[in-house]
Amino acid sequence: MANRTGPSITTVQALAVASQFGITLAISVVLGYFVGHWLDDRLNTSVIFTLIGVLLGLVGATTNTVRLYRALLRKSESEWHAQTTESARTADDGKPNG
């Protein structure tokens, strides 16, 4: 395995996250808009819930994409830690005593 400077994800994983972010953002905002619009109609509250819905959609899409990205990084991160620990242990074993 090549030495890495830090945790990383593969090209296909990066493509999947990027593609997921775009479409999740669109769907979340549209969902938020429709739910907010429906609530505004029911409660006669102008556009307050529509705005809240759109904002929640934006926040939700972003946090969920970050969660997805972190889930992908988690495995790579543990491997990287294991690799660096192993390298440090090997370096320690190589040192002369005293």
Q: For binding to other proteins (CB under 8 A), which residues are involved?
A: 1, 10-13, 15-16, 19-20, 23-24, 27-28, 31, 56-57, 59-61, 63-64, 67-68, 71-72, 74-76, 78-79, 82-83, 86
Tokens of 42: 């029911």
| CA proximity to 9, closest of 83, 80, 92 | 80
CA distance 50 to 46: 8
Shortest Å, Cβ 78 to other proteins = 8
Distance of alpha carbon 55 from alpha carbon 49, whole angstroms: 10
Nearer to other proteins, 41 or 86 (CB): 86
Least Cβ distance, residue 10 to other proteins (angstroms): 5
Q: How far is the CB of 63 from other proteins (least distance, A)?
A: 5
Between 44 and 51, name the residue whose CB sits nearer to other proteins: 51
Angle, to 10 degrees, between the axis of helix 11-43 and the axis of helix 48-94? 150
